[in-house]
Structure 1
Amino acid sequence: MPEKEKLRIDKYLWAIRIFKTRTLATEACKAGRVKLDGQNIKPSHEVKIGEVYQVSKGIERKVIRVTGLLENRMDAKSVANFFADETPVEHTAQFKSMFHAPLLKRDRGTGRPTKRDRRDIDELKSGFFEKGE
């Protein structure tokens, strides 16, 4: 694959599939969600091999090391050769554990919860969320 010597960070993050569009990558850089050594960087920052970036995308936080420069978007299997994911395990486990929370939803049309229902809901919430902390 053709590699480029000069490459913008927003284009690189889009090419390695961290962001769905280049516009989203640019906005993330402008908002300070992409950092190099703890410093915010501009979308026009030039990417160099060996640099480590911290990328925040919603509740997900990734630490990536540049292992190769990629100008155009490719399939996901090929992209894995151009960066190394160095995200600490506790951050990934923490992210995945958020999806195991109970779904607290009432059926539509059942009306307001009774006093007893409300106590049961409060007990369920407090029992689940306090055990994990």
Structure 2
Amino acid sequence: MTRTRLDAWLWAVRMYKTRSAATAAVKGGHVKVNDAPAKPAQPVNIGDTVRLRQPGRERILEVTGLIAKRVGAPVAVQHYRDHSPEPIPRHLLAVPRRDRGAGRPTKKERRQLDELRGRDAHQ
């Protein structure tokens, strides 16, 4: 059985657009293997659980096959099992915008905006 680097596997199964982006994500601490921090050259094995953070969601993948070369999406899907939770709908992530020229928000409006953004109003 061949050994496959974590960054190469993430790129090959199309989780990242480039291999350097996969390497940067692993180095940045956005990827864990079996709930432990990972390094780009760490080998992945069949049965490992890979957790990665992508903008707006977390992906949880179980490795079912090892590949080092990038393949088409239908083939790539055969090399992992996705256990990720459903992504949050975009309309729930949206923060309302104020009309241009509406002036500064009132104190009440500021509190409402802070509450929507999840910030503590009494910092």
The letter of the residue matching 1:43 is P
* Larger helix share, 1 or 2: 1
Corresponding position of 1:33: 30
TM-score w.r.t. structure 2 length?
A: 0.76
Are residues 35 and 124 of structure 1, via their aligned partners in 2, closer, same or farther at CA, if it must alter by over 3 Å? closer
| Residue pair 2:6, 2:43 contacting (<8 A) in 1 also | yes
Quick one: distance in 1 between partners of 2:62 and 2:6?
A: 12
2:103 matched to 1:112?
yes
Q: Give the alignment's Cα RMSD to 1 decimal.
A: 2.6
Corresponding position of 1:19: 16
TM-score w.r.t. structure 1 length?
A: 0.71
Quote the sequence identity (%): 28
Quick one: distance in 2 between partners of 1:104 and 1:72?
A: 43
Cα distance per residue 1:49-85 (max 9 Å; x no partner)? 1111111123311110111112221221221101100
Are residues 125 and 17 of structure 1, via their aligned partners in 2, closer, same or farther at CA, if it must alter by over 3 Å? same
Q: Max radius of gyration: which structure? A: 1
Residue of 76, 80, 89 corresponding to 1:83:
80
Residue of 35, 48, 51 corresponding to 1:51:
48
Are residues 114 and 65 of structure 1, via their aligned partners in 2, closer, same or farther at CA, if it must alter by over 3 Å? closer
Are residues 36 and 120 of structure 1, via their aligned partners in 2, closer, same or farther at CA, if it must alter by over 3 Å? closer
2:87 matched to 1:100?
no
Describe the SS at the equivalent of 1:96: coil
The letter of the residue matching 2:91 is H
Quick one: distance in 1 between partners of 2:7 and 2:114?
A: 40
Corresponding position of 1:5: 2
Are residues 125 and 65 of structure 1, via their aligned partners in 2, closer, same or farther at CA, if it must alter by over 3 Å? same
Report how many aligned residue pairs link the two structures.
116
Quick one: distance in 2 between partners of 1:12 and 1:52?
A: 13
Quick one: distance in 2 between partners of 1:68 and 1:122?
A: 50
Cα distance per residue 1:19-67 (max 9 Å; x no partner)? 1111111111112211122210110001111111111123311110111
